[in-house]
Amino acid sequence: MRYLLLLLALCPLAGRAYGQVSERLAVGQRVWVRAARPSGSLDGGVKGTLEGITSDSLRIRPSGDKPAVSVGISEQTQVFAFAGKRSSALRGALIGGGVGVLAGAALGLADGGGCSGFVCFSQGTTMAMGAIGLGGMGLISGLIIGALSPHDTWARAEPGPAVRPIVVSHPRDVGLGLSLAF
């Protein structure tokens, strides 16, 4: 009985572990089909709207006035479905802040410190002030620019039928089966 409860508890995880596929393809959906190169990296692939699915290929209409193309599916092919747009605010803030810190430190180094009236600063102090000042401005600028320029996100999708385990519990026993989705 103990092992049965463990099996029931772990069975929902089996569907997730199955290739980490999060989406099923549907006609009319935006897709991105990429193939593996001999080096192991993925090529640029084909992006467009899915027009049809067969057992060994996908028919995709690229954006613009380009004609539809048929893309073969193999074990080396990866299919991604459009999952929406995400903000690039954090990335922009990190890049802007980093560039600002470096530029401020370089300007402080070039200034070399010195005295202005009754206030004197060392070279290290002017570098730190420049890095903090320009770093803060770069951080804010990058945050704004990143927030205004979102990027597409893609989720791995399964083009063909998927087989997943099913567990059905009855008062006296448990049934195991397979679900085949088309």
82-93 average pLDDT score: 91
Tokens matching residue 94: 């990190």
145-167 average pLDDT score: 77
Every domain range in the chain assigned CATH 2.30.30: 2-86+151-181
Res. 142: pLDDT tops 70: yes
Task: Answer yes or no: are the C-beta atoms of 1 and 47 closer than 8 Å.
Answer: no
Side-chain half-sphere of 27: how many Cα atoms within 13 Å?
6
Which class is domain 2-86+151-181?
mainly beta
pLDDT (0 to 100) of residue 3: 58
Q: Confirm whether pTM is higher than 0.75.
A: no
pLDDT (0 to 100) of residue 20: 47
150, 181, 156: which is closest to 33 by C-alpha? 156
- What does DSSP say about strands 151-158 and 77-86: parallel, antiparallel, or unpaired? antiparallel
Tokens matching residue 121: 């600063």
pLDDT in tens, 23-37: 677 788 899 888 888
Least confident span in 51-55, 89-93, 98-102: 51-55
105, 145, 98, 102: which is closest to 126 by C-alpha? 105
Query: What percent of the chain lies above the pLDDT cut of 90?
Result: 24
